[in-house]
Structure 1
Amino acid sequence: MKLYEFPPTRSIRVRWTLQELGVDFESVRVNLMAGEHRRPEFLKINPAGKVPVLVDGDLVLTESIAIVLYLAEKYPGKGLLPTDLEERAQVHQWLLFTTTELEQPLWRIARHTSLYPEEQRLPGDVALASQEFRDMAEVLERHMQQRQFVVGDRVTVADFVAAYTLDWANEVHLLDRSPNLVAYMNRMYSRPHAAPRITEAFASLKA
């Protein structure tokens, strides 16, 4: 099994899942800063030119949510995806909520603060996206009152995805009104097999 990854990106979600599963895998670093994701050899693996990519035998799988769900289903004995139908549906619900309602505003902020050329950045969109994130984070903040995990009473892949996304939000100072989410995020990253936090991942690029 190979994981094509770049440390600070959503690759973290997949690495975290693999580490929690205790699965051996080969890490293949794709240096986005050096443009390696645009090279023909990588585009043959993922024509979208993005990471992460998981290669498992003949299967080539892209999109971090699809990959973590695949891994959870491949190793059902590890319990990272509930067997109960209703709880499994809730995992899917919170995975989709995280990627649509929380992650998309963060992407907009990133684009208009660092990714787009300066002349194309819209400061007003940063303010709008920040408020959209805060509004939706409040939904999860209330959900996490007196909860250890997003769904049920044990960790699932929904937690790895949520914790990474909250760490991203924390990097841009959007969790100052969300004490439950900050406490939850810190608990998740204190797990023995947690992936590196985003700041650690960036630091590893300079090592």
Structure 2
Amino acid sequence: MPQLTLYFLQASRSIRVAWLLEELGLDYEVKFADRENGAAPKWMKEEAGGLGKFPTLKDGDLLLYESGNITEYLCDTYDKEHRLLPAVGDPKRYAVLQWVHAAEATYALHALAILYCRWFQKDGDVTTTEEGLSGNVRKDMALLNSSLTRSQGKFLFGDEVTAADTMMEFVADFVFARGLGTKGQTWPRVEQYVMDCQAMPTWQKAQKKTGHKL
């Protein structure tokens, strides 16, 4: 059996880790579950532990949580050529990590604020609240669009995938799929970026193996 086990909840950030595992050429087992009443099933939470959020990665006896943390661990442990995340001390490492962390700390944070407003706001004008929150998403997407435009290739750092892309693809796709703060605005370079990421054989292999869909 593979040493690595990916606990994959549908639909979730778990595709990030699956794509990264494929980029690294690692063998891994997938323990997959659909949501039950909008949440992970009990067996998955009990087996994976932690906060019951996914992805969770098991490497031997080690359990790892949070997609950004898992990304750094996998790159530092298995990416011996530092192809996806440059070595400690290399200035490019921190440029890549800026996107790895922004994917959750900025992009997902702003997008999920809108989603949670739709789900949970009980009083007041949800449309007005969403409009107020949408400005952050539009600024985020504009920055991603301009960064991709400046890139010398299809991805954030040229024509080779990095950990920045394995983290950012999902959140960009999620924003578009749910219409979170877009308000009819388009960002052609970001839209092309998502298509380019999903055209990668490694992304497609991860999608096929896990059944990911938005």
Scaled by the length of structure 1, the TM-score of the pair is 0.84
Matched with 2:117 is: 112
Task: Say if 1:47 and 1:141 are closer, same or farther in 2 by CA, change over 3 A.
Answer: same
Alignment of 1:56-135 (within 5 A): 56-77=59-80, 79-83=83-87, 85-114=90-119, 116=120, 119=122, 122-135=126-139
Matched with 1:196 is: 207
SS in 2 for 1:77: coil
Q: How far apart are 1:163 and its partner, in Å?
A: 1.0
CA distance in 2, matches of 1:157, 1:105: 21
Counterpart check, 1:143 vs 2:120: no
Identity of matched residues, %: 27
Scaled by the length of structure 2, the TM-score of the pair is 0.81
Alignment of 1:20-31 (within 5 A): 20-31=23-34
Letter in 2 for 1:196: Q
Q: How far apart are 1:128 and its partner, in Å?
A: 2.2
2:52 to 49, 52, 60: 49
Letter in 1 for 2:189: N
The list of structure 1 runs, each at least 4 consecutive aligned residues, that deviate by more than 6 angstroms after superposition, is none
| Contact 1:30-1:36 at 8 Å conserved across structures | no
Moved more, 63-72 or 153-162: 153-162
Letter in 1 for 2:142: E
SS in 1 for 2:85: coil
Q: How far apart are 1:31 and its partner, in Å?
A: 3.4
Q: How far apart are 1:152 and its partner, in Å?
A: 5.4
CA distance in 1, matches of 2:37, 2:142: 37
CA distance in 2, matches of 1:41, 1:193: 26
Deviation readout 1:23-60 (Å, 9 max, x if unpaired)? 11111123332577463773463231111110001110
| Contact 1:90-1:151 at 8 Å conserved across structures | no
Matched with 2:13 is: 10
CA distance in 2, matches of 1:26, 1:2: 5
Task: Say if 1:45 and 1:87 are closer, same or farther in 2 by CA, change over 3 A.
Answer: same
Task: Say if 1:157 and 1:119 are closer, same or farther in 2 by CA, change over 3 A.
Answer: same
Deviation readout 1:73-112 (Å, 9 max, x if unpaired)? 1222351112361110101111222222211121112212
SS in 2 for 1:28: strand
Q: Which runs of 5+ in 2 are unaligned?
A: none
| Contact 2:5-2:59 at 8 Å conserved across structures | yes
